[in-house]
Chains A and B, each alone.
Chain A
Amino acid sequence: MPVLDLANPVRFMKLSDRVLPWLAAAAVAVLCVGFVLAFRAPADYQQGETVRIMYIHVPFAWLGMFGYTMMALSSIGILVWRHPLADVAHKAAAPIGATFTALCLITGSLWGRPMWGTYWVWDARLTSMLVLLLLYLGVMALRAAIEDPNRAGRAVAVLTLVGFVNVPIVKFSVDWWNTLHQPASVFRMGGSTIDGSLLWPLMTCAVGFTLVFLALHMLGMRTEILRRRVQALEARAAAEAMA
């Protein structure tokens, strides 16, 4: 089936109806394996058991960035092809990506308390993720501020792309700012490059959480399409009642 056929909302609903249960089951299965591997992995010689936070923290960070990338790609779909499904994909991705970014910050600060002795430091990575969260919240605030869904879709698409262009600049600036004020030595994770015994559980968890993201995103898109249908039906019913 050509990819373009998928862009038809009716076909998307049909296909996602069949795919979603399998996707969700796969997410649960891979995550179960990942968690078992993560708990059986050796504890770090320096960080002890707290290193296990990494197995969820690092996937959260990746998916926070993955979500914004997905929104940026959807924005191109909105602005170039004006496709309603791209708008649905953008709207569904925003809260999921924002949640993963927030979870990344929260798990990071829970790890930072025993390791660094503080919940929060103005480290370059933490600060970049915080700025990413602010960008997510800005996009969601703008969408919430506009009533007309069509205009809202294109407005947030413009904002998302402006933010996407700026993300590398913010990242570079924050790195520069941090290294000027404090050397990075304190924040290097245990001083050890990652060993295979830690890497495999991490990659399994990353794949599992990516499947969770995709399943939630598909579910979010389905909900949004249904919500728009209900709104259209309500509008039609109201118009008929008037006539």
Chain B
Amino acid sequence: MGAFFAVVRRDMALSLGAGGGAGLGVVFFLSVITVVPFAVGPDLVLLARIGPAILWVGALLASLIGLERLFAADVEDGSLDALSLSSMPLELTAAAKGLAHWLATGLPLVVAAPALALMLNLEPAAIGAVVLTLLVGTPAVTFLGLVGAAFAGAFRRGGLLIAVLVIPLAIPVLIFAVSATSAAVSGPVPFGTPFRVLLGLALFAIVLGPVAAAAALRAARG
């Protein structure tokens, strides 16, 4: 486990130290939230109703676009080869990098969400539900996105490819996250029902993502 946390620490230091890594994602999130009222109008009742969905779409896009550089730098400078020579399986390396990436870029989105939710006129119950679903759902998106990030890194393709590959896979996460939020506000099912499915999806993604990403990296090496 020592090697696992060493990779987590290294990646976190790299993405937090490089400047703008974590902050840039939050600024992108803020930008998405800002353009929506311009598009749909400043009606606070309407914004309160569609607010959770806007927050989730913004967080989804911010998570996906942030994935672009996850493996790219390590492929380019050869440190991925060094990492894959260590005794730790490539799957665990991918999981460590995914965890570090989520801590550095996903968690800030969750922390920023309440402030953005206030701007969209969400009521307190909805804010709590959105933050909880983001806390559980953004790791799911990040780990599902690992496979897209592996392709993007290995084949030097941009974030557009990641989004095209990963969005279909992330639809279930979006469905249950937004359902849980609307259940918390207006029912009819209790918040726990969709939320537990969301937890299950997150666990599934955390297992599947690193395995698929490692397979993708091996395939790319040829």
Contact = CB atoms under 8 A, between A and B. Distances in A.
A137 B189 CA distance: 35
Contacts of B212: 158, 161-162
A146 B216 CA distance: 13
B92 interface: no
A174 B175 contact: yes
Interface string B127-158: 00000000000000000000100010011010
B216 A155 contact: yes
B2 interface: no
A75 to B, nearest CB: 10
A174 B155 contact: no
Interface stretch (B35-43, B83-91, B100-108, B166-174): B166-174
Where chain A touches its partner, the secondary structure class is helix
Contacts of B204: 169
A56 B172 CA distance: 30
Contact of A173 (B155, B165, B176, B218): B176
Where chain B touches its partner, the secondary structure class is helix
B175 A151 contact: no
Contacts of B161: 141-142, 145
A176 interface: yes
Contacts of B63: none
B168 A163 contact: yes
Interface residues of B, number: 29
Interface in A155-190: 155, 157-159, 161-163, 165-166, 169-170, 172-174, 176-177, 180
Interface in A73-114: 79
B187 to A, nearest CB: 11
Nearest to A128: B171
B19 interface: no
17 contacts: A131-B171, A137-B164, A138-B164, A141-B165, A142-B161, A150-B222, A151-B222, A155-B220, A169-B201, A170-B172, A172-B172, A173-B171, A173-B176, A176-B175, A176-B176, A176-B179, A177-B179
Q: Top 9 A-B pairs ranked by shortest CB distance?
A: A154-B219, A173-B172, A134-B168, A151-B222, A177-B175, A138-B165, A158-B215, A173-B175, A162-B212
Interface of B: 147, 151, 154-155, 157, 161, 164-165, 167-169, 171-172, 175-176, 179, 189, 197, 201, 204, 208, 212, 215-216, 218-222
